[in-house]
Every structure is written in structure tokens, then in C-alpha cells.
Amino acid sequence: MLLLCWLLPAASAAAADEDDSNDRIVLVGSVLVDRDETAGDVVVADGDVTIRGTVDGDVIVADGDVTIRGTVKGDVVTFSGTATLGRRGHITGDLVYGDDKPVQAPGSRVDGDVKKFEIGDVSIVGAIGLWLLFTISLLLLGLVLLLLAPKAAVAVARTAKTKALVSGIVGLLAFFLIPVIAIAACVTVIGLPLGVVLLFSIVPLYTFAYLAAALVIGRLILKNATVLAFVAGLVILQLLVLIPIAGGLIGFLATVFGLGVLLVTLIRARK
């Protein structure tokens, strides 16, 4: 997962060098469409976007700032970040923003509407599609892990059954301590590599913890199964997190408990 996040920006840039009409799709990293360059759609999950040339399609940024000094022939959508239009910035479509209001310099143009993105604008079909996308991704990742380490899954389930309270306490401490330790390590020169590794491992680690919690939930129903228990547990957990307000708390508790189960299982494996 980390390699994918690192390599996609580079691959996107390399593809852009070979064919300027290609779309720029990046998970983590910045995108620059320089002068005399032309790109298709620009989609960035986490990173800043700078447009000095021309974008024939849309510009969609989930988390990052967008600076436009060239021309975008489609729409510009920013969910979390600021869209800034320079004097020569030109958007032929709409400019849709989430958190921060766009900054428009004198001379910049937006042919369409400048409007704030509202949660109500998201269709039910789109929301269900996004939920299905995450659920299927988690399901595939979990199945791969079960295929690679089936005995580890059994050990995780055993730990959850015999050391539930200890796992909960360990998970709660680890959930908050790991980021603190990582940031503290980054302050020192010697600890910098460790801090960087810890910071990059937080998201995958919490994802594995969530999957472990799904397996534990499934084993409560299908006691002697592994794969079917994981699938059932993941579906149940994903449905529970849809509950307004309470769903976020359920997801947090599941991640904390799963993290504790993983860590306690690793400690017991050393013995």
C-alpha cells in the first residue's frame, strides 16, 4: 500500500511526459500542469494541484489546495482546501468548493457557477457506491491476508476470546501512543527514520486492526469458520458504521480493539 502511494505520483508524472493528454490521477502527491502542457482530467486524493497550462477535463481534489494560473475547460471541485485563481486563471465550467471559499484575483474568470458543496448534494446512489467501494476493498485485502496467514487469523481469534479486556486496554494505549511516539522520534536526527516509518505505517496498521475486529465479530457468529466469519463480520461492521454519529464511535472502538488484539497476539507469539 505504501509503495503504491509513493509510486503512483511518479508514474503519473512519467505518463504525462510521454503523452500530455493523459489524465493525472494521484493518490498522494502534488500535480503540476506546467506552461505549454495539456492534461486530461486531474484527480488527486491528497496533494496540491497547480495549473499553469491547460486541462481539457475536470480538476477534482479531495484534500489539498488548487492554484490555477492557466485554463481548465471543465469543472473544478475542491472538498478540503483552497482554490486560488491567478490573474490569467480561467475555468469554463463550475467552481465547487467544500471548506474554504475560493480566492479570485482580478482578471480571473469562471464561466460557470461558483458554489459551495453541500452534503445534501451527494446522491444516495453515490454514497452507496462509495460505501461499496470501501467495503469491497477491505474485503479483498482481508481475503489476501487470510490466504497468506491463515494460522495468524486463528491466533487473533483466540486472543480476542481469551484476552479481550487486555486487548482493549493495549489497543487504546497504542492507538494514541503510536502517533505521539512517531512525532517525537521525528524531532531527533537519530529517531527520524523510525518516526517516518511509524507515521507511514499508521494507516495500514489501523486498517489491519479494523479487519481483525471484523474477523472477531464474525467468529462470534460462525465459531469454527475463518473466511466466512471474516466476510460476515466485515459486512456487519460496515453496516454498523453507517449509523449516524454512533457509527463513527463503533468504527473507532473496532479499530482500537483490533489493534490491541493484533499487538497482544504478536506478544504471545514470541512466547
Domain boundaries, the chain: 21-120, 122-270
Q: SS3 letters for 84-147? A: EECCCCEECCCEEECCCCCEECCCCEECCCEEECCHHHCCHHHHHHHHHHHHHHHHHHHHHHHH
- Listed in sequence order, the residues at least 6 apart from 89 whose beta carbon sits closer than 8 Å to its beta carbon are 51, 68, 69, 70, 71, 104, 105, 108, 109
509513493: which residue's cell?
6
Q: H/E element holding 183?
A: helix 164-187
Tens digits of per-residue pLDDT, 239-259? 998 888 888 899 999 999 999
pLDDT of 73 reads: 93
Digits of tens for pLDDT over the chain (271 positions)?
Answer: 443 444 444 444 444 444 445 788 887 889 999 998 999 999 998 889 999 999 999 999 988 999 999 999 999 998 888 999 999 999 999 998 887 889 999 999 999 989 887 655 555 556 677 788 888 999 999 999 999 988 888 899 899 989 999 999 999 999 999 888 888 888 888 888 888 888 888 889 999 999 999 999 999 888 888 899 999 999 999 999 888 888 889 999 999 999 999 999 988 887 6
pLDDT of 126 reads: 63
pLDDT of 29 reads: 87
Tens digits of per-residue pLDDT, 72-87? 999 999 888 899 999 9
